[in-house]
Amino acid sequence: MALFVQSLLLLLVSFLLLQTPAYAATCSDCFTQSRAAYYPNSDEKGTEDGACGFGSFGATINGGDVSAASDLYRDGVGCGACYQVRCTNAQFCSDNGVTVVITDHGSSDRTDFILSRRAFSKMAQTTDAAASLLSLGVVGIEYRRVSCSYPNKNIQFKIDESSNYPNYLAFVLWFQQGKKDVTAVQLCETQNFVCKLLDRSHGAVWDSVMPPSGPLSIRMLLTDSDTGDETWLVPTNDIPQDWKAGDVYDSGVQIE
């Protein structure tokens, strides 16, 4: 009898071990329980002063379905990441919720997200339900990270207004698809291929004091949010030699 029980236990342990990798492989699709609020202003969209440094782009990207994040901001690494957020009140909330882009840092009353009013309302089933959600102010939600999608768009380099040619260069990345984080950026001279690792100034803004002269190549280290795998992405287009603050340059590449 004891031998039978021991064999049964071994079979059960083996079964559980076999199931664990399959669960782990799909856990990136799991929802996490939390809370969300919305920006207490009259503007339906996001803020132009978000901590990510996107400027006016951060208020209008994704149609204005944007959000500030607390822990998910991750000192700026989380800027530009996309999340599916859906509220959990069955009386008011839709099944799909809304997909938002992180453009700011902040928290309110133990929340992970502070959505734009537009995004907060889109979690509702109807217009009347949206009004009810807004009146609550803070709601229970569940969220998961999803791939960002910008059809017919390449990654773009926006030269920050704080840049001062030729002594100081700062830029931010726009329209980054997928679920990968930009965890490092290199600035390379195109003539002698010498590269320097840039600092993250704040949010999604990368900068360099006394950058090299001539056309500049940008290399981005992408870290997969699910597996942790790292790859370097090298754009086909360079930042021109006579770059200017406020200009936007197309990288010629996108993340699949």
CB of 233 closer than 8 Å to CB of 254 = no
> 198 with 185: CB under 8 angstroms?
yes
d(CA 99, CA 143): 9
CA-based nearest residue to 135, from 111, 112, 117, 119: 117
Same domain assignment for residues 62 and 125? yes
Give yes or no: residues 178 and 244 share one domain: yes
Instruction: Give the model's pLDDT for residue 191.
Output: 84
Within-domain flag for 84: yes
By DSSP bridging, strand 66-69 and strand 98-105 are: parallel
Q: Write down which residue in 145, 171, 187 finishes a domain.
A: 145
Tokens standing for residue 168: 């100081």
- How far apart (Å, rounded) are the C-alpha atoms in residues 181 and 156? 15
CB-based contact 159:243 (threshold 8 Å)? yes
Cis bond upstream, residue 151 (ω within 30): no
Amino acid at 109: D
Residue 6, SS3 per DSSP:
helix
Domain boundary among 96, 111, 145: 145
147 strand-pairing partners: none
Question: Could you list the residue range(s) of the whole structural domain that residue 58 is in?
Answer: 32-145
Per-state percent for the chain, helix, strand, coil, to nearest 5 = 25, 35, 40
Q: List helix spans (H) across 108-210.
A: 117-122, 127-136
pLDDT digits (tens, 9 = 90+) for 198-237: 999 999 999 999 998 889 999 999 999 899 999 999 999 9
In a domain, 151, yes or no: no
Check whether residue 173 and residue 201 sit in a common domain.
yes
Task: DSSP letter for 93, please.
Answer: B
Same domain, 126 and 165: no
Asked if the structure places residue 89 within a domain, the reply is yes
Please give the pLDDT value at position 43: 72
Residue 67, domain member (yes or no): yes
Q: How many distinct structural domains can be found in the chain?
A: 2
**Residues 142, 130 contacting (CB under 8 angstroms):** no
Give the tens place of pLDDT for each residue, 75-125.
Answer: 999 999 999 999 999 999 999 999 999 999 999 889 999 999 999 999 999
Please check whether residues 36 and 118 belong to one and the same domain.
yes
pTM above 0.85, yes or no: yes
CATH number at residue 169: 2.60.40.760
Same domain for 116 and 66: yes
In a domain, 87, yes or no: yes
pLDDT of residue 213: 86
In a domain, 200, yes or no: yes
Instruction: Examine residue 256 and state whether it is found in any structural domain, yes or no.
Output: no
Residues 205 and 194: their CA atoms lie apart, in Å, by 22
Q: Give the DSSP letter of residue 52.
A: T
Q: By the 8 A CB rule, do 160 and 57 touch?
A: no
Give residue-wise pLDDT tens across range 5-42. Answer: 454 444 443 444 444 444 444 577 899 999 999 998 75
Looking at residue 37, which CATH number applies to its domain?
A: 2.40.40.10
Q: Of 126, 145, 164, which residue is a domain's last?
A: 145
Q: Give residue 256's pLDDT.
A: 76
Is 11 part of any domain?
no
Residue 50's contacts (CB-CB under 8 Å, 6 or more residues apart) are 58, 59, 66, 68, 103, 104, 105, 203
